[in-house]
Chain A
């Protein structure tokens, strides 16, 4: 079966711009969570969606937002980009209550 698909794979943006990242989960998976990965901070939780509702949110500023559609696909948006937002953004999907998370290959965002 198809895995978790994230698009685009790479992005270069300028400070102050905004960006939208997309994640298509494994078919049947209704839980989608997002993580930011940087060398210094490791994997940090951004937010989690289930059936179009945000159930959990990490400790990130309001510039980071997301949504989930009825087909479980999810998007995250970062507005007013800062240099520190440069990171690998990973999306993971899972069956409700399942201990196994399946990750996508991520979107590598570079802010210049």
Chain B
């Protein structure tokens, strides 16, 4: 089976940097993805890591360590609009046909 653990809630202030951690247990590993969801809306794709290291996309970066079964999402220069839930997810198979999600981390950004 597959399971992913992430903190339930993180708080930060505007302009700060925040890191959301994710640890996973899988029988086979095909990469780690991150999705953002605002208040019950559509989850949207943020990033994907197949190999160890850091992937940067604007203010957002994602890191993966396969040996530690660990990844994190780094959000810089936080803005109020970044308040949302963030999910880490892994594909169930090499065909990327489905995803298994963590339970999500709610990020609250305050002024």
- Given the known inter-chain contacts A42-B104, A43-B87, please indicate yes or no for A56 contacting B43, CB distance below 8 A: no
Give which listed residue, A41, A45, A102, contacts B98 with CB less than 8 A: A45
Bin chain B's interface residue count: 20 to 34
Quick one: CB contact mask for A31-65 with B, threshold 8 Å, 1 for yes?
10101000001111100101000011000000000
| Complex-state Cα separation, A77 to B87, whole angstroms | 26
In contact, A105 and B45 (Cβ under 8 angstroms): no
Residues B6-50 near A (CB distance < 8 A) = 31, 33, 35, 40-45, 48, 50
Give which listed residue, B42, B87, B96, contacts A104 with CB less than 8 A: B42
In contact, B45 and A102 (Cβ under 8 angstroms): yes
Q: Which residues of B contact A33 (CB under 8 A)?
A: 97-99
In contact, A56 and B104 (Cβ under 8 angstroms): no
Q: Which residues of B contact A48 (CB under 8 A)?
A: 97-98
In contact, A56 and B33 (Cβ under 8 angstroms): no
In contact, A101 and B42 (Cβ under 8 angstroms): no
Give which listed residue, B41, B45, B48, B102, contacts A42 with CB less than 8 A: B102
Chain A: how many interface residues by the 8 Å CB criterion?
30
Of all chain A residues, the one with the shortest Cβ separation from B30 is A99
In contact, B42 and A50 (Cβ under 8 angstroms): no
Tell me, yes or no, whether B100 is within 8 Å of chain A by CB.
yes
In contact, A106 and B45 (Cβ under 8 angstroms): no
| Complex-state Cα separation, A49 to B104, whole angstroms | 25
Tell me, yes or no, whether A90 is within 8 Å of chain B by CB.
yes
5 A-B contacts, Cβ less than 8 Å apart?
A33-B98, A92-B43, A103-B35, A106-B40, A106-B41
Q: A31-B97, A45-B98, A108-B40 are in contact. List 9 more A-B contacts (CB 8 A).
A: A43-B87, A50-B97, A88-B40, A92-B43, A98-B96, A99-B50, A99-B91, A100-B45, A106-B41
